[in-house]
Structure 1
Amino acid sequence: MKFKHQLKNDVLILSMQGDLIGEDSGLDIVAMINDQIQKGIKLCVIDISGLRYINSSGIGVLITILTKFRNKGGEVCLLSPSDNVQKLLIITKLNAIFNIADSEEEAFEILKNA
């Protein structure tokens, strides 16, 4: 899995591509998240439109990210899950825990009102 991140209006935008199966990249993502939170970033959009597959370890990575931001008074929004990933979020009932948006503009609106 590949990921990249950028800051836009004090919102961390994390983009993931490939399969989120919790290998070393999961640890790298969490380390990067910790760095951003220490810099005062409280809002995060996770663009998962490029994810083909998520396993239980990958779900754990997403929940870890959400927990870290919420523990600091922040919020996370998932952006554009594929049909397969959307089904997984519904089956696991994570769609009730995560904010989910179809566009970056919608994600920013959700986070602004969080």
Structure 2
Amino acid sequence: MLNIEHKTTGDYSVLMLSGEVDASNSVDLDAAIQRMLGEGVQKLLVDGSKLEYISSAGLGVFMSYLEEFQEKNIRLAIFGLLEKVHQVFIILGLDKLILIKSTQEEALAAIS
């Protein structure tokens, strides 16, 4: 099961993910990011501190936005990943494409 919440604070938004992102619910993650883009978000932090699992489908959602984010100058950082989830990003080389930080403060500093 996946729970998605989001809040906007000042000039950035935080997408909080808890549970598991897999093929059955990756469309919900996609819809949440689409909604935030529709709201004109320019700085997006993804709180992965309660994310227990992410499948290739979930990773694909983030990958599908990288080019659009670059074109629109939208800054993205993920923070707080559990070690086992962080390892998935590293194994697939996504840590080279997406900013991954330990804390929200570090992530915000990296995109500001």
Report TM bin, short chain. 0.7 to 0.9
* Whole-angstrom CA distance in 2 between matches of 1:2 and 1:22: 14
Segments of structure 2 that go 5 or more residues without pairing to the other structure are none
> What do residues 37-95 of structure 1 show as CA deviations (whole Å, max 9, x unaligned)?
23321110001111111111011122234444323111110111101011111110111
Whether contact under 8 Å (1:66, 1:75) holds in the other structure is no
Alignment RMSD (CA, Å):
1.5
Length-normalised TM-score, structure 2: 0.88
* Whole-angstrom CA distance in 1 between matches of 2:33 and 2:52: 22
Q: Which residue of 2 aligns with 1:11?
A: 12
Segments of structure 1 that go 5 or more residues without pairing to the other structure are none
Change over 3 Å in CA distance of 1:66–1:49 after alignment to 2: farther
| Partner AA of 1:108 in structure 2 | L
| Partner AA of 1:16 in structure 2 | L
* Whole-angstrom CA distance in 1 between matches of 2:70 and 2:24: 24
Q: Which residue of 1 aligns with 2:55?
A: 55
| Partner AA of 2:75 in structure 1 | E
* Whole-angstrom CA distance in 1 between matches of 2:68 and 2:27: 14
Length-normalised TM-score, structure 1: 0.86
Change over 3 Å in CA distance of 1:5–1:65 after alignment to 2: farther
| Partner AA of 1:10 in structure 2 | D
* Whole-angstrom CA distance in 1 between matches of 2:23 and 2:76: 19
Q: Which residue of 2 aligns with 1:31?
A: 31
| Percent of paired sites with the same residue | 25
- Once structures 1 and 2 are overlaid, which stretch shifts more, 48-57 or 66-75? 66-75
